[in-house]
Structure 1
Amino acid sequence: MGLVQICPFCGERDETRDHLFFACPYTYTLWLQVLGTLLRPPPSSDLGENVDRIAAISNDRLGSIVARLSFQVAIYYIWRERNERRHSQVARPVEQLVRIIDKTIMQRIMSTRYYGKQKLAGLLQL
């Protein structure tokens, strides 16, 4: 249609999928705070590279579970925050969104039987 989509987080003129998911300074800061301690070296701002790195985590079962869950929850809340900003003009700071994501991840782990299994005992700690 030729409409220009402006990023609601940083004001970048072209809001693309790759920009929205981690090339934007707001979402990359959020990504670093959510997953920065799980991936070494720190996560990239490139969506495809992040997907590949998370999919390649196979030697650490707990890390793989937490990384995949963190990725899914981060994507969901970034999209939700984007829509909130577009439709309600309500903006949350990165720190608040990180706390919400962290809480959601912990609640998801506790709502499953993961944390009760002996092999997965360290999931919440991670």
Structure 2
Amino acid sequence: MFAMRKLIAAVVREMGIEQIAEANSGQNALDHLARFPIDLLICDWNMPGMTGLEVLMAVRADPRLQTLPVLMVTAEQSAQQVSDAIQAGVTSYVAKPFLPPTLKLHIHKCLMRGESASNSPSKS
């Protein structure tokens, strides 16, 4: 999992994004989100302590984070898991293994969706 985080961070940096926070568990990610604003959450389905789906559901349940774009990166590809993530409000879903251009495309789409949500007149 550490290697995957480093690979994703390298791809994100290659896109020109320098401010990156990493968490080694779902709970650590939620703790970070409670203290610091971020523009995009990239989350693995399989993490220590809680699943990416549980993190996603916690993010969507928090009024401050409801519009945060969430990209799920996972080796899990069952139709049920994809459906669960979509129903929970995932912004995009990438199956491992993936090539960097695929990840970049999904990150770009998530950031564009997040930007349009933050500019939406219905957001308070």
TM value normalised by structure 2: 0.38
| Structure that is richer in helix per residue | 1
Greater radius of gyration (CA): 1
TM value normalised by structure 1: 0.38
